[in-house]
Amino acid sequence: MRHIIAVLLENEAGALSRVAGLFSARGYNIESLTVAPTDDPTLSRMTLVTTGNDEIVEQIKKQLNKLIDTVKLVDLSEGDHIEREMMMVKVRAERPDREELKRLVDIFRAKIIDVTDVSYVIELTGASRKLDAFIDALPDGLIIEVVRSGPTGIARGAKGLTL
């Protein structure tokens, strides 16, 4: 089963490699991992997506908690939560395709953030599946480049993952 785990880490050099090293050393799956400092500059927040049966995911959480740099951890998939991923797609946008691309951008509530005579850069944010659907919907052969942030997530409701 897929799990999305949010981790508050001490914003120390090497904290990220400790997490990455843990996953490779113990043979855990890692689908994506994003990390950035939070409003508190001493803390980083990491979101990682992993898969495994209940026992493995339980071990993953225990091992993450065991890292000295881990301050707090929550398995967002255990409750209601919101996931968002950001993507930028560079597409070939020449005369015959430009209108069709513009319509797709509107349908998906995406944005065109860079324009040349022959290309667009499209920005789209949403659940990862929506991003997949947008890529599927693009006419064949137009994609030049895709960059995705990997999902981040937050729990619904008033409670927060804070100190």
Contacting positions for other proteins (CB under 8 A): 9-10, 13-14, 17-18, 21, 25, 55, 58-59, 62-63, 65-66, 68-71, 163
CA pair distance 22, 60, nearest whole angstrom? 9
Residue type, 83: E
Shortest Cβ distance from residue 56 to other proteins (Å)?
A: 10
Shortest Cβ distance from residue 66 to other proteins (Å)?
A: 5
Q: What is the Cβ-side half-sphere exposure of residue 57, based on CA atoms within 13 angstroms?
A: 18
Shortest Cβ distance from residue 151 to other proteins (Å)?
A: 24
Nearer to other proteins, 14 or 139 (CB): 14
CB 60 within 8 A of CB 67: no
Shortest Cβ distance from residue 37 to other proteins (Å)?
A: 15
CA pair distance 141, 91, nearest whole angstrom? 9
Nearer to other proteins, 20 or 113 (CB): 20
Shortest Cβ distance from residue 32 to other proteins (Å)?
A: 22
Nearer to other proteins, 68 or 95 (CB): 68
- The residues near 162 (Cβ < 8 Å, ≥ 6 apart) are 8, 72
Nearer to other proteins, 10 or 132 (CB): 10
CA pair distance 124, 4, nearest whole angstrom? 21
91 — phi, psi (to 5°)?
-125, 150
Nearer to other proteins, 12 or 114 (CB): 12
Dmax (CA) of the chain: 57
